[in-house]
Amino acid sequence: MIIPSLDFIQGKMVRLYQGNYNRKICYNIDIFKQIDNYICNGATCIHLVDLDGCNNPLYRQKNILSIISRYKNIAFQVGGGIRTQNDIEDLLNLGVDKVVIGTSAILYPDQFKQWLNKYGGDKLILAVDIKINNKNEKKIAINGWKTVTNINIEKIINNFIPYGLKNILCTDILRDGTFLGPNIILYKYLKKKFPKIILQSSGGVCSLTDIRLLIKNNIEHVIVGRALLEKKFTFLEAWRCWQKE
Protein backbone atom coordinates (compact mmCIF):
# COMPACT_ATOMS: atom_id res chain seq x y z
CA MET A 1 0.00 0.00 0.00
CA ILE A 2 1.11 3.56 -0.69
CA ILE A 3 0.62 5.61 2.49
CA PRO A 4 0.93 9.40 2.14
CA SER A 5 2.64 11.10 5.07
CA LEU A 6 1.77 14.53 6.45
CA ASP A 7 4.07 16.05 9.08
CA PHE A 8 3.35 19.07 11.29
CA ILE A 9 5.20 21.69 13.29
CA GLN A 10 3.11 24.38 14.98
CA GLY A 11 0.16 23.57 12.77
CA LYS A 12 2.13 23.92 9.52
CA MET A 13 2.81 21.11 7.08
CA VAL A 14 6.56 20.56 6.85
CA ARG A 15 9.24 18.09 5.83
CA LEU A 16 12.56 17.76 7.61
CA TYR A 17 15.89 17.02 5.95
CA GLN A 18 17.43 13.97 7.66
CA GLY A 19 15.32 14.69 10.73
CA ASN A 20 16.95 18.10 11.28
CA TYR A 21 14.47 20.61 12.74
CA ASN A 22 16.71 23.44 11.58
CA ARG A 23 16.46 22.26 7.97
CA LYS A 24 12.75 22.12 7.40
CA ILE A 25 10.65 22.92 4.36
CA CYS A 26 7.28 24.55 5.04
CA TYR A 27 4.38 24.01 2.65
CA ASN A 28 1.53 26.45 2.18
CA ILE A 29 -0.94 23.65 1.57
CA ASP A 30 -4.36 23.19 3.12
CA ILE A 31 -4.26 19.92 5.02
CA PHE A 32 -7.91 19.07 4.46
CA LYS A 33 -7.71 19.67 0.71
CA GLN A 34 -4.59 17.52 0.60
CA ILE A 35 -6.26 14.64 2.43
CA ASP A 36 -9.39 15.01 0.29
CA ASN A 37 -7.22 14.73 -2.81
CA TYR A 38 -5.51 11.59 -1.53
CA ILE A 39 -8.85 9.99 -0.68
CA CYS A 40 -10.39 10.87 -4.05
CA ASN A 41 -7.46 9.18 -5.77
CA GLY A 42 -7.66 5.95 -3.84
CA ALA A 43 -5.82 6.41 -0.53
CA THR A 44 -7.13 4.19 2.25
CA CYS A 45 -4.61 5.19 4.94
CA ILE A 46 -2.88 8.43 5.94
CA HIS A 47 0.25 8.69 8.08
CA LEU A 48 0.25 11.72 10.43
CA VAL A 49 3.34 12.81 12.35
CA ASP A 50 3.30 15.37 15.16
CA LEU A 51 6.87 16.65 14.98
CA ASP A 52 6.32 18.99 17.92
CA GLY A 53 5.35 15.91 19.90
CA CYS A 54 8.50 14.11 18.73
CA ASN A 55 10.60 17.02 19.91
CA ASN A 56 8.75 17.49 23.21
CA PRO A 57 5.83 15.28 24.30
CA LEU A 58 4.36 18.20 26.26
CA TYR A 59 3.67 19.95 22.94
CA ARG A 60 1.50 17.26 21.39
CA GLN A 61 -0.79 19.11 19.01
CA LYS A 62 -4.54 19.16 19.00
CA ASN A 63 -4.45 19.84 15.25
CA ILE A 64 -3.98 16.18 14.49
CA LEU A 65 -6.93 15.28 16.68
CA SER A 66 -9.16 17.70 14.78
CA ILE A 67 -8.03 16.19 11.47
CA ILE A 68 -8.83 12.65 12.53
CA SER A 69 -12.26 13.57 13.85
CA ARG A 70 -13.20 15.06 10.48
CA TYR A 71 -12.70 11.84 8.52
CA LYS A 72 -14.56 8.64 9.27
CA ASN A 73 -13.99 6.49 6.20
CA ILE A 74 -10.21 6.36 6.07
CA ALA A 75 -7.62 4.80 8.35
CA PHE A 76 -5.09 6.98 10.12
CA GLN A 77 -1.85 5.92 11.71
CA VAL A 78 -0.43 8.54 14.03
CA GLY A 79 2.95 9.09 15.63
CA GLY A 80 4.85 11.76 17.48
CA GLY A 81 5.40 12.19 21.21
CA ILE A 82 3.29 9.21 22.26
CA ARG A 83 4.63 8.26 25.65
CA THR A 84 1.80 6.97 27.84
CA GLN A 85 -1.08 4.53 27.83
CA ASN A 86 -3.46 7.48 28.00
CA ASP A 87 -1.93 8.84 24.78
CA ILE A 88 -2.63 5.53 23.05
CA GLU A 89 -6.17 5.23 24.37
CA ASP A 90 -7.03 8.83 23.46
CA LEU A 91 -6.03 8.18 19.85
CA LEU A 92 -7.71 4.78 19.59
CA ASN A 93 -10.91 6.16 21.11
CA LEU A 94 -10.85 8.95 18.55
CA GLY A 95 -10.79 6.35 15.79
CA VAL A 96 -7.11 6.08 14.91
CA ASP A 97 -6.43 2.74 13.28
CA LYS A 98 -2.80 2.31 14.38
CA VAL A 99 -0.58 4.16 16.84
CA VAL A 100 3.09 4.60 15.94
CA ILE A 101 5.48 4.34 18.88
CA GLY A 102 9.21 4.88 18.71
CA THR A 103 11.19 6.49 21.51
CA SER A 104 9.14 5.16 24.42
CA ALA A 105 9.40 1.59 23.08
CA ILE A 106 13.19 1.90 22.99
CA LEU A 107 13.56 3.58 26.38
CA TYR A 108 10.94 1.51 28.18
CA PRO A 109 10.75 -1.88 26.44
CA ASP A 110 8.86 -3.59 29.27
CA GLN A 111 6.14 -0.97 29.02
CA PHE A 112 5.88 -1.49 25.27
CA LYS A 113 5.57 -5.24 25.78
CA GLN A 114 2.63 -4.56 28.10
CA TRP A 115 1.03 -2.36 25.45
CA LEU A 116 1.46 -5.09 22.84
CA ASN A 117 -0.27 -7.52 25.18
CA LYS A 118 -3.08 -5.07 25.92
CA TYR A 119 -3.81 -3.60 22.48
CA GLY A 120 -2.45 -6.27 20.15
CA GLY A 121 0.07 -6.13 17.36
CA ASP A 122 -2.56 -4.93 14.87
CA LYS A 123 -2.99 -1.62 16.69
CA LEU A 124 0.62 -0.68 17.36
CA ILE A 125 3.44 0.10 14.94
CA LEU A 126 7.02 0.07 16.16
CA ALA A 127 8.90 2.99 14.59
CA VAL A 128 12.58 2.17 14.23
CA ASP A 129 14.51 5.20 13.01
CA ILE A 130 18.04 4.14 12.27
CA LYS A 131 21.42 5.52 11.39
CA ILE A 132 23.84 3.10 9.74
CA ASN A 133 27.43 3.61 10.83
CA ASN A 134 30.67 2.80 8.99
CA LYS A 135 30.58 -0.73 10.41
CA ASN A 136 27.16 -1.25 8.82
CA GLU A 137 25.62 -1.39 12.28
CA LYS A 138 22.00 -0.26 12.29
CA LYS A 139 21.73 1.94 15.38
CA ILE A 140 18.39 3.28 16.57
CA ALA A 141 17.81 7.02 16.96
CA ILE A 142 15.32 8.46 19.46
CA ASN A 143 13.86 11.73 20.72
CA GLY A 144 13.07 13.13 17.29
CA TRP A 145 16.32 11.62 15.95
CA LYS A 146 18.43 13.90 18.12
CA THR A 147 20.03 10.97 19.97
CA VAL A 148 21.58 7.94 18.29
CA THR A 149 21.68 5.05 20.73
CA ASN A 150 24.01 2.07 20.79
CA ILE A 151 21.05 -0.27 20.29
CA ASN A 152 20.89 -2.37 17.13
CA ILE A 153 17.61 -2.72 15.28
CA GLU A 154 17.88 -6.53 15.26
CA LYS A 155 17.96 -6.69 19.05
CA ILE A 156 14.87 -4.52 19.41
CA ILE A 157 12.79 -6.46 16.89
CA ASN A 158 13.77 -9.81 18.38
CA ASN A 159 12.89 -8.47 21.82
CA PHE A 160 9.32 -7.59 20.84
CA ILE A 161 8.30 -10.34 18.41
CA PRO A 162 7.44 -12.82 21.22
CA TYR A 163 4.95 -10.26 22.58
CA GLY A 164 3.00 -9.94 19.34
CA LEU A 165 4.86 -7.31 17.34
CA LYS A 166 3.60 -7.35 13.74
CA ASN A 167 4.13 -3.89 12.23
CA ILE A 168 7.40 -2.00 11.83
CA LEU A 169 7.95 1.41 10.27
CA CYS A 170 11.63 1.68 9.42
CA THR A 171 13.25 4.96 8.44
CA ASP A 172 16.84 5.40 7.38
CA ILE A 173 17.23 8.92 8.74
CA LEU A 174 20.04 9.75 6.34
CA ARG A 175 17.58 9.22 3.47
CA ASP A 176 14.52 10.93 4.95
CA GLY A 177 13.51 14.06 3.06
CA THR A 178 16.54 13.83 0.77
CA PHE A 179 15.23 12.38 -2.54
CA LEU A 180 18.26 10.05 -2.49
CA GLY A 181 16.08 6.99 -2.98
CA PRO A 182 15.04 4.39 -0.39
CA ASN A 183 17.57 2.12 1.24
CA ILE A 184 16.62 -1.03 -0.67
CA ILE A 185 19.51 -3.03 0.80
CA LEU A 186 18.28 -2.30 4.32
CA TYR A 187 14.69 -3.30 3.60
CA LYS A 188 15.72 -6.48 1.77
CA TYR A 189 17.81 -7.41 4.78
CA LEU A 190 14.96 -6.81 7.23
CA LYS A 191 12.47 -8.79 5.13
CA LYS A 192 14.88 -11.72 4.93
CA LYS A 193 15.72 -11.68 8.64
CA PHE A 194 12.15 -11.05 9.84
CA PRO A 195 9.88 -12.51 7.12
CA LYS A 196 6.70 -12.43 9.22
CA ILE A 197 6.95 -8.73 10.03
CA ILE A 198 4.76 -6.31 8.07
CA LEU A 199 7.23 -3.66 6.98
CA GLN A 200 6.61 -0.01 6.18
CA SER A 201 9.51 1.70 4.42
CA SER A 202 10.10 5.41 4.88
CA GLY A 203 12.64 7.88 3.55
CA GLY A 204 14.15 8.88 0.23
CA VAL A 205 11.40 7.98 -2.26
CA CYS A 206 11.52 10.36 -5.21
CA SER A 207 10.22 8.44 -8.22
CA LEU A 208 7.89 5.69 -9.36
CA THR A 209 10.99 3.59 -10.02
CA ASP A 210 11.72 3.69 -6.29
CA ILE A 211 8.23 2.40 -5.59
CA ARG A 212 8.61 -0.41 -8.12
CA LEU A 213 11.87 -1.49 -6.47
CA LEU A 214 10.22 -1.62 -3.06
CA ILE A 215 7.31 -3.64 -4.43
CA LYS A 216 9.65 -6.10 -6.14
CA ASN A 217 11.40 -6.66 -2.82
CA ASN A 218 8.12 -7.54 -1.08
CA ILE A 219 7.82 -4.41 1.05
CA GLU A 220 4.21 -4.30 2.18
CA HIS A 221 3.78 -0.54 2.63
CA VAL A 222 5.59 2.56 1.40
CA ILE A 223 5.40 5.88 3.24
CA VAL A 224 5.67 8.83 0.84
CA GLY A 225 5.81 12.44 1.99
CA ARG A 226 7.90 15.10 0.29
CA ALA A 227 7.71 13.53 -3.19
CA LEU A 228 3.92 13.93 -3.21
CA LEU A 229 3.96 17.44 -1.74
CA GLU A 230 6.49 18.58 -4.34
CA LYS A 231 4.71 16.77 -7.19
CA LYS A 232 7.51 14.42 -8.20
CA PHE A 233 4.55 12.20 -9.00
CA THR A 234 0.92 12.16 -7.95
CA PHE A 235 -0.69 9.83 -5.47
CA LEU A 236 -2.83 8.44 -8.29
CA GLU A 237 0.29 7.59 -10.32
CA ALA A 238 1.83 5.89 -7.30
CA TRP A 239 -1.39 4.00 -6.58
CA ARG A 240 -1.63 2.80 -10.18
CA CYS A 241 2.02 1.74 -10.09
CA TRP A 242 1.30 -0.30 -6.98
CA GLN A 243 -1.76 -1.95 -8.56
CA LYS A 244 0.14 -2.90 -11.74
CA GLU A 245 2.99 -4.48 -9.86
When pLDDT is cut at 50, 70 and 90, the band that residue 20 belongs to is low
Per-residue pLDDT at 61? 56
When pLDDT is cut at 50, 70 and 90, the band that residue 39 belongs to is very high
With CA atoms as reference, report the closest residue to 242 among 233, 221, 227, 182. 221
- Contact present, 235 and 214 (Cβ < 8 Å): no
DSSP state of 180: S
Per-residue pLDDT at 131? 85
Residue 174: pLDDT over 90 = no
Helical (H) or strand (E) element with 175? none
Give percent of the chain above pLDDT 70: 87
- HSE of 74 in the Cβ direction (CA atoms, 13 Å)? 24
- HSE of 171 in the Cβ direction (CA atoms, 13 Å)? 27
Global pTM? 0.89
**CATH number (domain holding residue 57):** 3.20.20.70
Residue ranges making up the domain that contains 206? 2-244
* Residue 98 CA from chain centroid, whole number: 11
* Residue 232 CA from chain centroid, whole number: 20
When pLDDT is cut at 50, 70 and 90, the band that residue 188 belongs to is very high
Give percent of the chain above pLDDT 90: 55
pLDDT in tens, 111-151: 999 999 999 999 999 999 998 888 888 889 887 667 788 89
Distances (CA, A) of 67 to 36, 78, 79, 190, 202: 11, 11, 14, 33, 22
- Mind telling me the catalytic residues? 7, 129
For the chain, what is the domain count?
1
